[in-house]
Amino acid sequence: MNDNDNDNDISRRLGEAIEPPVPPVDPARLAAIRALAQATATGSPVAPMVASRRSLLRMGVAAAGGIAAGAAGFAIVSRDWDEDPAGPPLEAASVRPAEGVAASANLINHTWGTEVLLDVSGLEPGVAYTMDLVATDGRRVSAGGFVGTDGLMKCRNNGAVLRADLQGFAVTGPGGTEVLASELN
């Protein structure tokens, strides 16, 4: 055996390992399969389905019902999106502003304390002001602060005094000068 025959034998064995040999096809069986395929291609034994008027009517009613249900659902959901969610209830608070100052206030009773929504104008621009909540026992609790401007200011101040324990609030400027106060019921 020469090297060339040995190489051919190795190549043949590798080819058989990679691709298993295909068994021979029976010519009679192949002819029968081809005849059956040609017969079904020219004349199918299955008749095409013809929709009756009744089934078409049922499909139309079902489609219309689905469209109506979808439209109703969309109308309900989109109506809810147009409405703004209700905010917390506000309690009006009367205020006594100093001369030249105009103010109005509302309170929001939170579970953690009280929030004061203060609209104020007439304060000196650039000056720092502080707000204190005054508790019924006389304690003063800081509710934050703000810097005056030459226009209407909308301030939201809050502190850790429950509404039930709140007697009022006061805004003071430099040197503790009171620029507005509120006494609550």
pLDDT at 81: 62
Distances (CA, A) of 134 to 67, 98, 166, 185: 61, 18, 6, 12
Where do the domains of the chain lie? 91-183
Distance between CA atoms of 184 and 106, rounded to whole angstroms?
A: 11
pLDDT at 119: 97
Sheet with 96-97, side-by-side order of all strands:
96-97, 178-183, 166-172, 128-135, 140-147
Tens-level pLDDT at each residue, the chain (185 residues)? 577 777 788 877 777 767 766 777 888 888 888 887 777 666 555 555 667 888 888 888 888 999 999 888 887 777 766 566 677 899 999 999 999 999 999 999 999 999 999 999 999 999 999 999 999 999 999 999 999 999 999 999 999 999 999 999 999 999 999 999 999 97
Per-residue tokens: 84: 């703004």
pLDDT at 118: 97
Name beta bridge partners: 158.
115
Q: Name the nearest CA neighbour of 116 among 135, 137, 93.
A: 93
For domain 91-183, say whether CATH 3.40.50.300 is its number: no
